[in-house]
Structure 1
Amino acid sequence: MSDKQLRQDVIDELDFEPSIDAADIGVTCENGVITLSGHVPSYTQKVAAERAAWRVKGVKAIAQEIQVRFAAAKKTNDDEIAQRALNILAWSSPSPHDAVHVKVQDGWVTLTGEVRWNYQREAAEASVRRLSGVLGVTNAIALTPAAIPADVEERIRNALRRQAEIEAARIRVVVDDGGTVSIEGDVDNWEERRAVERAAWSTPGVRMVEDHLRIS
């Protein structure tokens, strides 16, 4: 596929996605690498635009340069954002109470603390990034899993074999003593890459996943 066609496919996907106002989003393409530029009215739309671009077949990488711009009347003070973040984490997050800490500076939210599972870390970020006034989120929540099981590598391999969209024989998995999982190999698209990551993160004892997969 030519860069020109791939660029048009990404533009069409952004226009098709109902949660995005794509009027002010620019798209360029070079050797399969998509650059998203321009601005959107919320951080949620910025994240949605990147996900929409990844859905397009042929995209190898994305440079995310979209800015979040609020109307002056919609600007929210940092202390208000922080309080809303604490409230939504208390109401909807699966993390233990007081496990996640919030810092807000100029609309940018930083999450810290410790949880046992990656889905708790992802859920906390997903809850906060939907808040109005948020320009971006840095997820610095650490994982403190239980002791690393001796068969963690085999569990990941079995999980890969169970998923129809993954050709497990093309994936190499290495687990070190500290719970860091390195995944290497080739996948066909971004969704398959995400499926491999999810399989690794869903295994008990995994502290970090290093994704070295290539989209072929």
Structure 2
Amino acid sequence: MDLTGKVAVVTGASKGIGREIARLYSEKGAQVIGFYFTSEVGLQDTKNTNIDLLKVDISNTENCVELYNFIIEKYKKIDILVNCAGITEDALTRKMTEEQFDRVISVNLKGVWNFTRLIGPHMQLNGGGSIINISSIVGEYGNIGQANYAATKAGVIGMTKTWAREFTMKNGNVRVNAIAPGYTMTDMLNSVPQNLLDKFASQTMLGRLAQPIEIANVALFLASDMSSYITGTTIDVNGGMRL
């Protein structure tokens, strides 16, 4: 699954799943442009020189347009887009504030739309590309205290199916797919009590939670020519948690 000569944009590239995807793509030969917002520390220790880190607020449309224009001017093309950036603002619905709801929608849903509406048509004009949206098991099955997060991740799946239809029009040949990870050992789980993590692990067929690289491996497959006939689908990577 060689990505030599490819240009890949990865949002949320400084932590967790996004960091592993950026590193893996880089190791496989891609020029990676990784977006971060809160911290770039996660990729500072990489030995690869073909990762450029850019700070961007993906919920800010003007900021996204500026970054898109910069990338096209510098690299001339974008072959792969991974929409991985996301946040949580958890609370029971009766306690959730409007600000909590709006922040999660703005980053997790509008942020995905902001870059895809620019990069998708670019790929279409160039005759092809791969867009990979990181959804979640929560977007498929819901979760107590995460109405806002679940809504965004379900919305990402809906946009994935829509874009798979739109970006193949006029022989665009752009593949758009989603990955729905189960509970994965990233910073998002740092605040979850160990007894709950153990409970989640026991609910999987494999008896454990995922490591970020296991999600990144699926993203590599979807970015490569090995998945050339896969589009409009959601791949569950949850250890058999929901069967």
> TM-score under structure 2 normalisation?
0.23
Whichever structure has more helix as a proportion of its residues is 2
User: Which structure's CA Rg is the greater one?
Assistant: 1
Instruction: Give TM-score, length-normalised by structure 1.
Output: 0.26
- Higher relative CO (Cα under 8 Å, sequence separation at least 6) belongs to 2
**Higher-strand-fraction structure:** 1
